[in-house]
Amino acid sequence: MKSYINEHILRFIACILLQIFLVSKFSIFGYAFGFIYILFLLKLPVSLSKPFLLLLAFITGFIIDIFSNSLGLHSASCLFMMLVRPFVLSFLMPRGGYDDDTKIDIQYMGFTWFFKYSIFIIFIHHSTLFFLEIFSFQNFWVTLLKILLSSFLTLFLIFSLHFIFKDTEYKKI
Amino acid sequence: MHNFFLLLNRYRSFLLFLFLEIISLWMLFTKNPYQSGKFFNFFTEISGRVHEFSSSVSYYLNLKNVNDSLMNENSRLMISHFSDDKHDSISFPFLKHAVNENQYDIYTALVVNNTVYQPENFITLNKGIKNGIKPGMGVITQNAVIGIISRVSENYSVAVSLLNTKSLFSVKIKKNNTAGTLTWDGIDPSHAILKYIPKHIVITLGDSVVSSDYSSIFPANIPIGKIEEKKLNPGENFFTLKIKLHADFSKIRYVYIMQNKTSEEQQALEQPTESVSKK
């Protein structure tokens, strides 16, 4: 159990460092932005209580906000994403429901499940983020394009991270 | 009463969500780019330190380009040193219209963090309160307006970039002295939008746009860009002009921070006049 918690703390630190030092430094043509830090929130255990999940989402968002001069923006979208997460989880619930030790992972839940789950959550997070940032429907199509391209970039980053660290994870099991 | 607490307990996660979300949205929407509070200064200092570290890494990888820009800067200084005997070694051609030679204090600073693709872009600089930087000072390079200092901590300052959808700059068309307002549409970092130029003004593409005489932050006649496209929407009395900016905002590394020493005097003089005219 302890190493399990350690794993989440490590992922928290790694995701935030990656986001601040690497991912936030580049964008593709000014349309696609990566937000790798939500991987930490994606993978939080199902069994955690909702208020605790919300607090974690707020803290994560706030830290990212401090480093990107956008106080409130990331925390608001992370919170909303965390609010919606239980609904996405119950929508995608496998037969027999979740156990307390269910890991949100490709190995445990299968590739298709994890793909569907992450794309739902990422799309919700990015939509809130970009519309809050612009706060108008003036450039609706441009914003939508940004949301879609950024979602794919984040998804790509999350899956590539997963496949880079796959071997070590198998050894652990 | 018991039922009320049961209800509270049942919706506690949603209530917590509402509470935190309201805090976030409050931070997001009351954030005045020119504010400086102790609480936020603490975070400015932290993020300044972190970005300085990360920028020192990319700085090392970019040494070749930095060298080139330093060589250019050196040659420019040498030319101005030998050709201009009126000012000291750092000479800005647009300063000759200043009230007196000492109207502006100029500090140099290094950019430690900079974005160009967000709707609201900010630039973090490595000079702060210690070096005499205050909110409201102007940030320029040799040939372009960059932004205005908004938050200052002990060692760092954050400037609102010209590439910020909420920033407005007072500019003029150099040829005929027509003043307008420069904004940014949040899309293209190499172009800005110039508004409120009356439609009777004759506009030629390629005219240069410079900072106006009315600003208490910037001296007049700092180059900003060139007119690239003009548009007159039917039924409107003002042109909407697309300006190609001189500065490549994604590559700025060294900037100058200007303090107008007479700006307080100017504002103090203007304030009573405004309040009288309002009555």
CB neighbourhood size of B135 (10 A): 17
Q: Which residues of B touch A25 (CB under 8 A)?
A: 54, 58
Q: Which residues of A touch B17 (CB under 8 A)?
A: 54, 79, 82-83
Chain B: closest CA distance from residue A21 (Å): 6
CATH 3.30.43.10 at B169-245, yes or no: no
Residue B257's SS3 state is: strand
Residue B237's SS3 state is: coil
| Helix or strand holding residue A157 (H, E) | helix A140-164
Backbone angles phi, psi at A151, to 5 degrees: -60, -45
User: In the 8-state DSSP scheme, what is residue B94?
Assistant: G
Mean pLDDT across chain B, nearest whole number?
79
Q: How confident is the model at residue B34 (pLDDT cuts 50, 70, 90)?
A: very low
| Helix or strand holding residue A28 (H, E) | strand A27-28
pLDDT of A81-113, one tens digit each?
A: 999 998 998 888 777 777 777 777 777 778 888
Contact A71 B28 (CB under 8 A): yes
Considering only the beta carbons, identify the residue of B25, B31, B117 that sits closest to A30.
B117
Distance CA A38, CA A47 (A): 18
Q: Which residues of B touch A132 (CB under 8 A)?
A: 28
Distance CA B136, CA B260 (A): 10
Distances A70 to A67, A89, B76, B226 between C-alpha atoms, Å: 8, 29, 37, 31
Contact B50 A20 (CB under 8 A): yes
Amino acid at B54: S
Distance CA B32, CA A71 (A): 11
Q: Which residues of B touch A70 (CB under 8 A)?
A: 28, 118, 120
The yes-or-no answer to whether B38-161+248-260 and B169-245 have a common fold is yes
For the four alpha carbons of A70, A64, A135 and B16, in that order, the dihedral sign comes to: negative
Quote the domain boundaries for residue A94.
2-172
Report residue A49 as tokens: 């209580």
Residues B212/B266, Cβ–Cβ less than 8 Å: no
State the pTM of this model. Answer: 0.69
Q: Which residues of B touch A72 (CB under 8 A)?
A: 23-29, 31
Residues B55/B112, Cβ–Cβ less than 8 Å: yes
Q: A33-68 as b/e, with b when 16 or more CB fall inside 10 Å?
A: bbbbbbbbbbbbebeeebeebbebbbebbbbbbbbb
The pLDDT assigned to A56 comes to 92
A-interface mutation test, from B117, B156, B163, most A Cβ less than 10 A away: B117
- Which residues, at least 6 apart from A17, have a Cβ–Cβ distance to it below 8 Å? none
Distances B82 to B61, B78, B106, B141, B152 between C-alpha atoms, Å: 34, 6, 20, 21, 36
Please tell me if residue B40 touches chain A, with a CB cutoff of 8 Å.
Answer: yes
Residue spans per domain, chain B: 38-161+248-260, 169-245
Chain B: closest CA distance from residue A107 (Å): 30
The structural domain count of chain A equals 1
For the four alpha carbons of B159, B164, B170 and B171, in that order, the dihedral sign comes to: positive
Considering only the beta carbons, identify the residue of A27, A69, A76 that sits closest to B158.
A69
The pLDDT assigned to A24 comes to 81
pLDDT of A125-154, one tens digit each?
A: 999 998 888 776 677 888 899 899 999 999
pLDDT of B211-239, one tens digit each?
A: 887 777 888 888 888 998 888 888 888 88
What length is written for chain A? 173
Residues 47-86 of B with CB under 8 A from A: 47, 50-51, 54, 58
Residues A23/A35, Cβ–Cβ less than 8 Å: yes
Question: What are A's interface residues with B at a Cβ cutoff of 8 A?
Answer: 20-21, 25, 27, 30, 33, 49-51, 54-55, 58, 61, 65-73, 75-76, 79-80, 82-83, 132-134, 139, 142
Which CATH homologous superfamily contains domain B38-161+248-260?
Rod shape-determining protein MreC, domain 1 (2.40.10.340)
Which chain A residue is nearest to residue B12, measuring alpha carbons?
Answer: A51
Report residue B127 as tokens: 């000079």
The pLDDT assigned to A126 comes to 93
Find the distance separating the first CA and the last CA of chain B, reported in whole Å.
54
- Which residues, at least 6 apart from A105, have a Cβ–Cβ distance to it below 8 Å? A43, A114
The ipTM is 0.80
Q: How confident is the model at residue A2 (pLDDT cuts 50, 70, 90)?
A: low
Name which of A50-64, B59-73, B96-110 the model is least confident about: B96-110
pLDDT of B144-176, one tens digit each?
A: 888 999 889 888 999 999 888 888 888 988 888
Residue A93's SS3 state is: coil
Q: How confident is the model at residue A79 (pLDDT cuts 50, 70, 90)?
A: very high
Residue with tokens 């901590």: B153
Q: Could you give the count of Cα atoms lying within 13 Å of B140 in the half-sphere of its Cβ? A: 27
Query: Is A97 or B133 the better-scoring residue by pLDDT?
Result: B133
Contact A58 B20 (CB under 8 A): yes
The pLDDT assigned to A81 comes to 93
Residues B133/B258, Cβ–Cβ less than 8 Å: no
